[in-house]
Amino acid sequence: MEVLYRENILDHYRNPRNEGTLEDADISHELDNPLCGDRIRIDIRLKDGVVTEARFSGRGCVISIASASILTEEIVGKSVAELHAYRDEDMFRLLGITPGPVRARCALLPLQVLKEGISRLRDEEQSLRA
Ligand code: FES
């Protein structure tokens, strides 16, 4: 079974889905992995609080690129509240592996970008209401 997951990860790395950027995205955020300096950006377009488009760009290893590709596929059609509820375990489930501590940083980088981007959006919305 693990072989199938590894093949899926390699497929997403070699043929990344949703690679690119979105102009005037509602959420646009990027972070680097301090262990290696690789950097992932995620752009999201929302309509009525639901993701209609998601793109990623940047540089990374097999796991981080596959993770960004899988995550940007997964989140289309989900609400911001659902995205906020994603946990590390959800990302590992989507990848089909539970990596060791170093690779976990790679696997979780896109999710971290997403969650920080959502938090910033919420902060901006709150400051507009204040
Ligand atoms: Fe840099 Fe994986 S080695 S993100």
Task: Please list the rounded mean pLDDT of every run of 10 residues in the chain (130 residues).
Answer: 83 98 97 96 97 98 97 98 95 94 95 97 86
pTM of the complete model = 0.94
- What per-residue confidence (pLDDT) applies to 4? 78
The pLDDT value given to residue 1:
58
Interhelix angle for 88-95 vs 62-74, to 10°? 100
Q: Ligand 1: distance of its center to the CA of 93 in Å?
A: 19
What's the Cα-to-Cα distance from 46 to each of 19, 35, 103, rounded to whole Å?
17, 32, 30
Q: Exposed (0-12), middle (13-18) or buried (19+): which is 54, by Cβ within 10 Å?
A: buried
Count of residues for the chain? 130
Amino acid identity at 5: Y
What pLDDT is stored for residue 70 in this prediction? Answer: 98
Give the distance (Å) from ligand 1 centre to CA of residue 23. 26
Minimum CA distance residue for ligand 1 atom 3: 61
